[in-house]
Amino acid sequence: WNVDLIKQMGEALGEECIALNVDVLLGPGANMKRSPLGGRNFEYFSEDPFLAGELAANFINGVQSKGVGTSLKHYAANNQEFQRFSISA
């Protein structure tokens, strides 16, 4: 629940992007950890939707405060493999 720390992390990544001439950071992933077997869980913040949203928002604010864009990915409930191309997430 340390939103200040996650914002600082975003700021640090924003500074790294500037140093490497990166205009848009492809992330963060805003999905939830619905299953402990999820192969992409390391990309997400939490299994709690409120916490995941708060952390993602503060991370984005940190990155964008440095003038670097973000591209939010992997929205909620878009993390199952079974029939992944035919579900409506």
> 23-42: per-residue pLDDT in tens?
999 999 888 888 787 778 88
DSSP letter string over 32-84? ----TT-TTGGGS--SSHHHHHHHHHHHHHHHHTTT-EE--BS-TT----TTT
Copy the structure tokens of residue 21: 């001439």
Per residue in 59-89, pLDDT (tens digit) is: 999 999 999 999 998 776 666 666 767 766 6
Does this model's pTM top 0.85? Answer: no
CB 33 within 8 A of CB 19: no
